[in-house]
Amino acid sequence: MKTTVMLVLFSVLTASALQSQQTQQPPPNDPIGEHLFPPELIMQNQKTIGLNDDQRNFIKTEMQKAQSRFTDVQWQLQSEVETLSSMLKQDKVDEQQVVTQLEKVLNLEREVKRTQITLVIRIKNKLSVEQQIQLRELKIKIQAQSQAREREGRKLMEER
């Protein structure tokens, strides 16, 4: 059981680390992310998509609210992971306590994801259909450029 708990914990922490690395664009074939727009993409292209002052202020306010929530949850999450880690250091691990603690960690991670999806949905709903079309086109262009750079990088590595 100790091994199972460690594997679950490793999976959870790995998923969190991967999630935090995804800032510019969603992973390829992301059925949820392909319909939403990262705030960074909107900020970097606000003139291109014709973002107005009302939209800009709304997005800034929503991002500030979400960032505040992320900070609160991150502090809680770190504390709960630390507690879980200390439980697992024991020579004899109380399975029920560890599973209960793991649930606390998973609930906090779920809260982060809920906050993220709520933010991008609110932002999307504030954008016009035309702006959404422009952002989809920008995402496709960025993804194509990224794939081209990856191909070039692989080609250079193969040549060495």
Per residue in 117-129, pLDDT (tens digit) is 999 999 999 999 9
pTM of the model: 0.71
Cα(51)–Cα(54) distance, integer angstroms = 8
User: Which pLDDT value is given to residue 28?
Assistant: 57
Cα(22)–Cα(61) distance, integer angstroms = 22
For residues 135 and 42, is the Cβ–Cβ distance under 8 A? yes
Q: Is the pLDDT of residue 101 over 60?
A: yes
Q: What is the mean pLDDT of residues 54-68?
A: 97
Average model confidence (pLDDT) for the chain? 86
Let me know if 63 is exposed, middle or buried by CB neighbors in 10 A (0-12, 13-18, 19+): middle
Q: What is the mean pLDDT of residues 152-156?
A: 86
- Of the candidates 127, 80, 83, the residue with the CA atom closest to the CA atom of residue 105: 80
